[in-house]
């Protein structure tokens, strides 16, 4: 959706009844046929827009594309999502959010895209990001805490996404795979990539990028064994705008409480209860090599506790976990 189409959609959302074509022409400095083209484009995207001669246009139904006009009315946050930049297509929302953060974007600014041409995952992997089906967004955070606490942010985000998914899809069997994936049916439903700009004692910003497979049904063959979507798990479709607002509505209070206390402990029971890894035998690949063992839980600051074959418990603060078959 280009910017003008999105602005026209905003106006249609904001209007209680019909909005006259003439008013739209004046406001956006365009001809009637240009207005009509934007309306047609919105219809092609799934919006039901009634047009009555002499009265104008009225938005009757919307498909839940995560533009500001759809997301804002559903927000209960103070900061998260109050500034929301939507791209019909972009390379990566993390990349865009980092650029905005460097230009001074405030905490809670969200960049969201319908399509990513260079979506990125952890370990420099690609994040498959087709148009029209999923959620790809990044939140700018400016946490005034010691940088040693920053690795806890993905866990806060994962808990927020997990809560929102459970609220949207009753009965969904989703769990949190430490440190930052959401799994369902043994496959990945959501991935989180945090990137930061920091000095040794101070983080300038942290961008938390979140990708959720929402209505994707045609999973590319090469990731069919490892990826799933909400639609595949539940058999129904979801509004991406509503899901985005719901995630932000949960993420902000979790983050604020954590900022206030500097303590992840209140969230640990939730993370443990919904842990995908607890009790499993895994291998963790980290920067210092790999370690195998059985997961016994989480440490006070969110590290994974791993008991090796000799009964020694290791504290793992980062890495990529795989279940041992
Ligand atoms: C992973 O599991 O490897 C993390 C995937 C993170 C994907 C999201 S989609 C929105 C944001 N933009 C990106 O390029 N990546 C993150």
Whole-number Å distance, alpha carbon 192 to ligand 1 midpoint, is 5
Those residues with Cβ within 8 angstroms of residue 302's Cβ, 6 or more apart along the chain or in another chain: 151, 152, 155, 179, 264, 268, 271
Q: How many CB atoms lie within 10 A of CB 44?
A: 8
Are the beta carbons of 274 and 175 closer than 8 angstroms? yes
Residue 48 domain boundaries = 3-61
Looking at the structure, tell me whether residues 163 and 20 fall in a common domain.
no
Whole-number Å distance, alpha carbon 49 to ligand 1 midpoint, is 33
| Structure-block tokens of residue 258 | 């954590």
CATH code for position 37: 1.10.10.10
- Kindly state the helix (H) or strand (E) to which residue 203 belongs, with its residue range: strand 202-212
Q: Is the pLDDT of residue 260 over 90?
A: yes
Mean pLDDT of 59-87: 92
Q: What is the pLDDT of residue 289?
A: 85
Distance CA 322, CA 308 (A): 15
Distance CA 165, CA 159 (A): 10
Q: What is the pLDDT of residue 253?
A: 98
Whole-number Å distance, alpha carbon 211 to ligand 1 midpoint, is 5
- Given the structure tokens 């103070």, which residue do they identify? 78
Of 248, 273, 298, at which residue does a domain stop?
273
The SS3 call for residue 266 is helix
Looking at the structure, tell me whether residues 77 and 182 fall in a common domain.
yes
Whole-number Å distance, alpha carbon 116 to ligand 1 midpoint, is 10
Looking at the structure, tell me whether residues 18 and 136 fall in a common domain.
no
Q: What are the beta bridge partners of residue 223?
A: none
Q: pLDDT tens for residues 6-57?
A: 789 888 988 888 999 999 999 999 999 999 999 999 999 889 999 999 999 9
Mutation pick for ligand 1 pocket among 86, 90, 97, 127 (CB with most ligand atoms within 8 Å): 127
Nearest-atom index, ligand 1, CA of 181: 2
Q: pLDDT tens for residues 216-248?
A: 999 999 999 999 999 999 999 999 999 999 999
Per-residue pLDDT band at 201 (split at 50, 70, 90): confident
Q: Kindly report the three-state secondary structure assignment for every residue of 115-170.
A: EECCCECHHHCECCCCCCCCEEEEEEECCCCCHHHHHHHHHHHHHHHHHHHHHHCC
Q: What is the DSSP letter of 16?
A: S
Q: pLDDT tens for residues 122-161?
A: 988 999 999 999 999 999 999 999 999 999 999 999 999 9
Q: Is the pLDDT of residue 1 over 80?
A: no
Looking at the structure, tell me whether residues 85 and 199 fall in a common domain.
yes
Residue closest via CA to ligand 1's atom 16 equals 209
Distance CA 24, CA 21 (A): 5
Those residues with Cβ within 8 angstroms of residue 204's Cβ, 6 or more apart along the chain or in another chain: 101, 142, 196, 197, 198
Q: Is the pLDDT of residue 3 over 80?
A: no
Per-residue pLDDT band at 288 (split at 50, 70, 90): confident
Q: What are the beta bridge partners of residue 291?
A: 284
Q: What is the pLDDT of residue 156?
A: 98
Mean pLDDT of 162-176: 96
Nearest-atom index, ligand 1, CA of 92: 14
Distance CA 78, CA 141 (A): 13
- Residue (of 141, 158, 164, 162) closest to 71 by Cα position: 164
Of 39, 61, 83, at which residue does a domain stop?
61
The set of protein residues with a Cβ atom below 6 angstroms from ligand 1 is: 92-94, 116, 119-122, 125, 127, 136-138, 181, 191-193, 209-211
Q: How many CB atoms lie within 10 A of CB 113?
A: 25
- For the chain, give the percent of residues with pLDDT over 70: 100
| pTM for this prediction | 0.89
Residue closest via CA to ligand 1's atom 3 equals 121
CATH code for position 195: 3.30.930.10
Those residues with Cβ within 8 angstroms of residue 9's Cβ, 6 or more apart along the chain or in another chain: 1, 42, 47, 59, 67, 69
Looking at the structure, tell me whether residues 44 and 167 fall in a common domain.
no
Mean pLDDT of 112-127: 95
Average pLDDT of the chain to the nearest whole number? 94
Q: What is the pLDDT of residue 59?
A: 93
Least confident of 54-63, 112-121, 159-168: 54-63
Of 273, 291, 309, at which residue does a domain stop?
273
Sign of CA dihedral 62, 65, 69, 72: positive
Looking at the structure, tell me whether residues 89 and 155 fall in a common domain.
yes
Looking at the structure, tell me whether residues 127 and 256 fall in a common domain.
yes
Looking at the structure, tell me whether residues 290 and 269 fall in a common domain.
no
Domain count, the chain: 3
Asked if the peptide bond before residue 149 counts as cis, ω within 30 degrees of 0, the response is no
Q: What is the pLDDT of residue 62?
A: 84
What's the start-to-end Cα distance of the chain, in Å?
A: 44
Looking at the structure, tell me whether residues 252 and 304 fall in a common domain.
no
Nearest-atom index, ligand 1, CA of 116: 14
Looking at the structure, tell me whether residues 136 and 21 fall in a common domain.
no
Mean pLDDT of 249-259: 98
Looking at the structure, tell me whether residues 235 and 157 fall in a common domain.
yes
Those residues with Cβ within 8 angstroms of residue 225's Cβ, 6 or more apart along the chain or in another chain: 187
């Amino acid at each position: 959706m280009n910017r003008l189409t999105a602005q026209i959609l905003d106006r249609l959302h904001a209007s209680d009844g019909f909005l006259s074509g003439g008013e739209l022409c004046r406001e956006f400095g365009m001809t009637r046929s240009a207005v009509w083209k934007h309306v047609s484009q919105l219809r092609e995207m799934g919006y039901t827009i009634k047009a009555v001669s002499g009265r104008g246009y009225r938005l009757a139904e919307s498909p839940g594309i995560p533009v500001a006009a759809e997301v804002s009315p559903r927000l209960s946050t103070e900061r998260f999502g109050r500034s929301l930049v939507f791209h019909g297509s972009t390379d990566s929302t993390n990349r865009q959010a980092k650029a905005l953060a460097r230009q001074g974007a405030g905490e809670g600014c969200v960049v969201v895209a319908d399509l990513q041409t260079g979506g990125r995952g952890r370990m420099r992997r690609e994040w498959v990001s087709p148009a029209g089906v999923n959620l790809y967004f990044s939140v700018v955070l400016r946490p005034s805490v010691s940088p040693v606490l920053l690795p806890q942010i993905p866990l806060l985000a994962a808990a927020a996404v997990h809560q929102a998914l459970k609220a949207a899809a009753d009965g969904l069997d989703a769990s949190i795979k430490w440190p930052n994936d959401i799994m369902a049916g043994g496959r990945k439903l959501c991935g989180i990539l945090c990137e930061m700009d920091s000095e040794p004692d101070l983080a300038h910003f942290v961008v938390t990028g979140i990708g959720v497979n929402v209505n994707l049904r045609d999973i590319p063959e090469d990731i069919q064994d490892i990826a799933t979507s909400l639609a595949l798990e539940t058999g129904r479709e979801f509004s991406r705008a509503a899901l985005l607002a719901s995630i932000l509505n949960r993420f902000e209070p979790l983050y604020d409480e954590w900022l206030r206390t500097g303590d992840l402990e209140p969230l640990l029971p939730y993370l443990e209860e919904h842990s995908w890894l607890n009790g499993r035998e895994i291998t963790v690949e980290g920067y210092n090599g790999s370690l195998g063992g059985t997961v016994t839980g989480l440490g006070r600051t969110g590290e994974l506790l791993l008991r090796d074959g000799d009964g020694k418990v290791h504290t793992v603060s980062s890495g990529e976990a795989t279940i041992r078959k």
